[in-house]
Amino acid sequence: MIGKQFSLHSALITLLIILLISGTAPAQSETGVPFLLTHPSPHLNGMAGAFTALPTTDPHGQFFNPAQLGNFGREKNFSIQFFTPATKWLPNYSFSDLKFSSTACAIGYNLQNYHASLPLSIGIGIVKTNYDLGNNAWTNSRGEILGYFDSEEYYTAYSIGASLDYGVKFNIGYTFKKITSKISPLEVTVGNETGDAKAEGNAHDFGIQVVVPVISIIDKRNNKETLLWGKFKPKTDLSLGYSLLNTGDQIYYINPRLADPLPKSAQIGLAITLGLDMPIRETVFSVIKLDLSTEARDLLIERSTDSLGTGKYISSPGKINFWKNVLQGESTDQIAVYKGWRIQIGEFIELSYGEISGESRFDNGISTSGYRISSRGLLKFINMYTDNPVVSYMAEHIEVSYAYSSYKSTNDSHPYSRTKFKGITISIFGY
Euclidean distance between CA atoms 393 and 395, whole angstroms: 5
For residue 244, the model assigns a pLDDT of 97
Q: pLDDT at residue 292 above 80?
A: yes
Dump pLDDT digits (tens) for 177-213: 999 998 776 555 555 555 567 889 999 999 999 999 9
Range list of H helices, 68-197: 68-75
Query: Does the pLDDT of residue 79 top 50, yes or no?
Result: yes
pLDDT at 14 over 50: no
Interatomic CA distance for residues 277 and 390, integer angstroms: 25
Amino acid identity, residue 6? Answer: F
Res 363 pLDDT > 70: no
Residues in the chain, total: 431
Q: Give, as one character, the DSSP assignment of residue 36.
A: G
Strand spans (E) along 214-264: 233-247
The distance from CA 59 to its chain's CA centroid, rounded to whole angstroms, is: 10
Residues sharing a CB contact under 8 Å with residue 337, sequence separation 6 or more, in sequence order: 294, 295, 296, 297, 325, 329, 330, 331, 355, 356, 357, 358
Please, which pLDDT band fits residue 82 given cuts at 50, 70 and 90? Answer: very high
Say what the pTM is: 0.88
| Boundaries of every domain in the chain | 2-428
Identify any residues that bridge with 209 across adjacent strands, giving them in sequence order: 171, 241
Q: Is the pLDDT of residue 12 over 60?
A: no
Helix, strand, coil share (%) of the chain residues, nearest 5: 20, 50, 30
The contacts of residue 333 (CB under 8 Å, 6+ apart) are 358, 359, 360
Q: Kindly indicate whether the domain formed by 2-428 is annotated with CATH number 2.40.160.
A: yes
Nearest to 424 by CA among 101, 44, 82, 100: 82
Note the pLDDT tens digit of each residue in 24-78. 333 334 788 889 999 999 999 999 999 999 999 999 999 999 999 999 999 999 9
- Spatial distance between the Cα atoms of 290 and 412, rounded to a whole number of angstroms: 30
* Distance in Å from the first CA to the final CA of the chain: 61
Predicted local confidence at residue 10, as pLDDT = 44
User: Helix, strand, or coil here: 169?
Assistant: strand
C-alpha to C-alpha distances, 285 to 192, 281, 347, 427, nearest whole angstrom? 68, 10, 8, 18
For residue 150, what are the β-bridge partners?
135
Q: Would you call 342 exposed, middle or buried from its count of C-beta atoms within 10 A (0-12, 13-18, 19+)? A: buried
Q: Give CA separation, 88 vs 8, 11, 19, 102, 131, in Å.
A: 26, 21, 17, 13, 10
Predicted local confidence at residue 360, as pLDDT: 60
85: cis peptide before it, omega within 30°? yes
Are 298 and 335 in contact by the 8 Å Cβ rule? The answer is yes
pLDDT at 275 over 90: yes
Q: How far apart are CA 300 and CA 293, in angstroms?
A: 22
Cα 237 from Cα 302, distance rounded (Å): 37
- Any alpha helices (H) in 316-423, and if so which ranges? 375-384, 389-397
